[in-house]
Structure 1
Amino acid sequence: MYTQPATAADRKPWTVPMLAQAKREGRKLAMLTAYDAGFARTMDAAGIDLVLVGDSLGMVMQGHDSTLPVTVDDIVYHTACVARGLSTALLLSDLPFQADASPQRALDAATRCLQVGAGMAKIEGAGHKLEVIRYLVEREIPVCAHLGLTPQSVLRLGGYKVQGRDERAAAQLMEDARAVQDAGASMLVLECVPTPVAASITAALAIPTIGIGAGPQCDGQVLVLHDVLGLDGGHRRPKFVKDFLAEGGSVDGAFRAYADAVRSGAFPDESHSYA
C-alpha cells in the first residue's frame, strides 16, 4: 500500500502524478478545506494530503447563504495565505461562480491561483465545462472536477439535495464522470451521491474520487474545516459531517484523527452516507 512517512520533515510534497499512484496502490487520500496559513500549517504537520481553498469560504468565512458571492479575488487571496502554510500537501483552488463560464475566463482565474501557490484548479459540473477542462489541461493547468451536488448550481437544483438517486440520474453521473476524466481531469470530487453510485463511479475511473457525502468507497474524503472542528457555520449541518475535535482533543489531534479515520476506512460510515 502507498504510504507517506508520519513525520512531516520526511514526507515528499504531493504532486499530481502521485494522486493516480495512490489510487493504484489503494492509499486513501485525506483532504480538508483551509482559508489561512495557520490552519494550513497545522493540517500539513498532521499529514493531510490535499488542502482545498473552497468557495465554501463564502458561507463559513464571509457569512453568506451560498457560495455564489465569492469572487476570484477572494479565492486568490485565501490561496496565497494557505500556500504560505504548506510544505507537503497539494493545494487546490476552487474556481468560483462564473469564473469558469468560458475557457478564457477559467484560464485567467486558474493562472492567478497557480501563480500564488495552488497546484490544481477545481471546477464544478460537466456539459460545457468539459471544454473548459480540456482548455486548461492543454495549457498545463491540472484540474479537479466536481460532480453530484454542485453548490454553484444551487438555484437550478432547488437547494442542497442528494444527487443520483434514481436510475436515470445515476447513469448521467456515470456518463459525466467518464467525460470529465476523458477531458483531462486528474481527480473528481463527488458530493452528496448515494454510496452505491459513488462506488460504481470510483471503480470505473482511473483517476481518484474524493467523496463528501458519497460513502466510504471513494478513493479519499474531503470535509470543510469548520465541520471537522464542530464549529457552527450558521447553517444546517449535513448528515455527512463529523466533529473530530471531540475525539482528537485539539485542532492538531482532530486533523490527525480525521486523516487516520479516512485511511483506515472508519470514516465515513453508514451514518455519514446516503443509501
Structure 2
Amino acid sequence: MKPAPFDYFAPTSLEEALEKLTDLGYSGKVLAGGQSLIPAMNFRMARPAALVDLNKVTELSYIKPTQDGGLAIGTMTRDSAIEDSEVVKRLFPIIAEVMPNIAHKQIRNRGTFGGAVAHADPAAQIPALSLLLDAKMKIQSKKGDRWVDAQDFFMGPFMTVLEPEDLLTEVLLPGLVPGTGTSYKQISRQRGGYAQAAAISKVVMDGIKVKDVRVVLFSVAETPVLTKEPVRVLVGQVPTTEAIEAVAEYVAQNECDPGTDIHGTAEYRRNLVRVLVRRSLTEAVERARK
C-alpha cells in the first residue's frame, strides 16, 4: 500500500518549523527519521494531512557534553551517530551497549534519538534509556519552552505529553556519578528484532552497599516501566544474590503487564522479566564495584 495524500513542508530552521506546526495544529505530523512513521503511513495506520520534515533543520543535530559530565542530544541526531560517538562511549557506556541492538544499521543511519523518544513505542530501547538515565526533555513551541522529566513524558503506547504545536528539540542526560554500573539485557527472536522482554539497570554503589538503583523494563507494558521494588529493597543494603532474586521475582509478578501473542504468553514474558532483571542487576552491581 501507499500513503494517503498529504501536504509536505520542509522547513530549514527551528523557527520556521515551529511556525508551521502552529499553523497546522492537529493536521500536521513531524517527520524525523521516518523509520516508524513512513511504514505506518504506507499501511494507512497513520493518515496525517501534512508532514513537517525536520531533515533540513540542521541545528537540531548535535551531541554536546555538559558541565556535569552529561550529554545534550539534539532531537535530529541519528542513532548511528550516537552509536559511533566516542564521547557517548566514554560518558554513557550503557548507551553504547544498547544502540547496536536497535533494529539494523541501515535503520540506525536514518532513525533519530529524539524521534524515537517522541514516538514512544513501548517496545523500543531509547524511551527506556531516557527513563533509566533520568532524562529531561526540552519541548519548544511558539508559546515558549518547557522541560519535562522522562518519567512524566510517556503517557501510554505511542502517547506523550507533546501537543500538536510542540516539538521535542533536545534530550538532556545528567552525568553519571562515580561508582555507577549499568547493564542491558534483552530477549528477542532475532538480533535487531523487537524485544519479547527487556530490562536495563543502573546501580550506584557506596562501598559495599547500594546508594541508588534504577531498573527499567520495556516491551512488557504500555509504556517503559520504572520499577519501585529495587529501590525499596536494595538501597542502603548489601546487594546479595538472595536480595536480587527476591527483587526480580517481585518485579516480574507485580510491576509489569505483559500481553500474550503468537511469540509468547504473558506467563512466559513474566518469567523472562524475572531472569532479565536478575541478570541486569547482578551485572550492574559487578560493574559498579570495578
Indicate the TM-score class for this superposition, using the shorter chain for normalisation: under 0.3
> Please, what TM-score do these two structures have when normalized by structure 1?
0.27
Choose between structure 1 and 2: higher helix proportion.
1
Q: Which has the larger radius of gyration?
A: 2
> Which of structures 1 and 2 has the larger relative contact order (alpha carbons within 8 angstroms, sep 6+)?
1
Normalising by structure 2, we get a TM-score of: 0.26
